[in-house]
């Protein structure tokens, strides 16, 4: 078992790398330019998330959580590292399971990046000590997000009532499970 995931994962055309405080400006800019497409599904995609100082604070917290082993946040960047493409991460959600999450910019959408990232993070999460399942959560109406666990062989475990916090959410959250045991 691996104690923590690697800080850098290289793909042919992009990389996943541990965030740094220097990433605050590109993350803030990407959120600002993608609010119209992210806000219908993600409650954090609001103007309050766009100041660089807000992202510096979030990233500082993310770095501390990485060091504690409770969350592993990655920046998705072009292979050259000069283009921000999105974010993804693994969060320990209990003593025996982890969740993965992801989002990409409009420019990165439709290129298979999310599927490849989710596949890699699923494998990494499954290697963490004590993890027996990996979960992906999404609203029942979020077809693009739902397609990812379906493509990766996750199974739909349950649909639960969930507070509606954005304009497109239905209040029905799908919990997709990958058996890591």
Residue 165 lies in a domain: no
117: domain CATH number is 3.40.630.30
82: which DSSP letter?
-
Mean pLDDT for all residues in the chain: 93
Q: Is residue 31 part of a domain?
A: yes
Give the span between the Cα atoms of 104 and 99, in whole angstroms: 17
Is residue 141 a part of any domain in this protein? no
> Looking at the domain assignment, is residue 166 inside a domain?
no
Strands 133-139 and 97-104: parallel
- Provide the residue range defining the domain that includes 101: 8-131
From residue 179, alpha-carbon distances to 106, 149, 157 in Å are: 31, 12, 11
At 46, phi and psi to the nearest 5? -135, 165
pLDDT digits (tens, 9 = 90+) for 39-97: 999 999 999 999 999 999 999 999 999 999 999 999 999 987 778 999 999 999 988 99
Q: How far apart are CA 141 and CA 171, in angstroms?
A: 9
Query: How many structural domains comprise the chain?
Result: 1
Average pLDDT over residues 139-166: 94
Q: Name the burial class of residue 4, with classes exposed (0-12), middle (13-18) and buried (19+) by CB atoms within 10 angstroms of its CB.
A: middle
> What percent of the chain has pLDDT above 70?
98
Q: Tell whether 68 is covered by a domain.
A: yes
């Amino acid at each position: 078992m691996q104690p923590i995931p690697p800080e850098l994962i290289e793909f042919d055309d992009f990389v996943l790398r541990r965030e740094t405080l220097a990433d605050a400006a590109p993350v803030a800019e990407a959120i600002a330019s993608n609010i119209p497409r992210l806000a219908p599904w993600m409650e954090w995609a609001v103007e309050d998330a766009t100041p660089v100082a807000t992202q510096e604070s979030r990233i500082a917290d993310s770095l501390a959580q990485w060091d504690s082993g409770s969350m592993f946040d990655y920046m998705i960047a072009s292979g050259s590292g000069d283009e921000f493409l999105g974010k993804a991460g693994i969060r320990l959600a209990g003593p025996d399971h982890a969740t993965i999450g992801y989002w990409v910019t409009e420019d990165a959408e439709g290129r298979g990046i999310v599927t490849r990232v989710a596949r890699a993070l699923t494998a990494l999460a499954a290697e963490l000590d004590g993890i027996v399942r990996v979960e992906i959560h999404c609203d029942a109406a979020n077809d693009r997000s739902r397609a990812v666990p379906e493509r990766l062989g996750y199974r739909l475990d349950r649909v639960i009532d969930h507070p509606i916090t954005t304009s497109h959410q239905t209040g029905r959250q799908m919990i997709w499970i990958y058996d890591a045991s």
